[in-house]
Structure 1
Amino acid sequence: MPLWTIHHTPGIFTGEEKHRLASRITDHYEKIGLPRFYVVALFHEIQPEDMYFGGEPTPAGVRITIDHIARHNVDQESRRRTAQWVNGMLRPHLEEKAGLHWEFSVDETSEDLWMINGLVPPPGGSDVERQWAKDNAVSPY
Structure 2
Amino acid sequence: MPLWTIHHTPGIFNAEEKRALASRITDHYESAGLPRFYVVTVFHEIEPEDFYVGGEPTQVGIRVVIDHIARHAVDTESRRRITQWINQMLSPTLERHPGVHSEFHIDETSEELWMINGLVPPPGGSDAEKRWAKENVATAY
Partner of 2:74: 74
What is the TM-score when the length of structure 1 is the normalising length? Answer: 0.98
Asked if 1:65 is matched to 2:61, the reply is no
Distance 1:95 1:16 in 2: 17
**Residues of 2 paired with 1:22 and 1:94: CA distance?**
16
Partner of 1:49: 49
Q: Which TM-score applies when normalising by structure 2? A: 0.98
- RMSD over aligned Cα, in angstroms? 0.6
After superposition, what is the alpha-carbon deviation per residue over 1:7-35, rounded to whole angstroms, capped at 9, x for unaligned?
Answer: 00111100000000000000000000000
User: Which shifted more, 84-93 or 34-43?
Assistant: 84-93
Name the count of aligned residue pairs: 141
**Contact preservation (8 Å) 2:12, 2:93:** no
Gaps of 5+ in 2: none
**Could you list the runs of 4 or more consecutive aligned residues of structure 1 that deviate by over 6 angstroms after TM superposition?**
none
What residue number does 1:27 align with? Answer: 27
Sequence identity (%): 72
Structure 1 CA distance for aligned equivalents of residues 105 and 126 of structure 2: 28
Which residue identity does 1:56 align to in structure 2? E
SS of the aligned residue for 1:63 comes to: strand
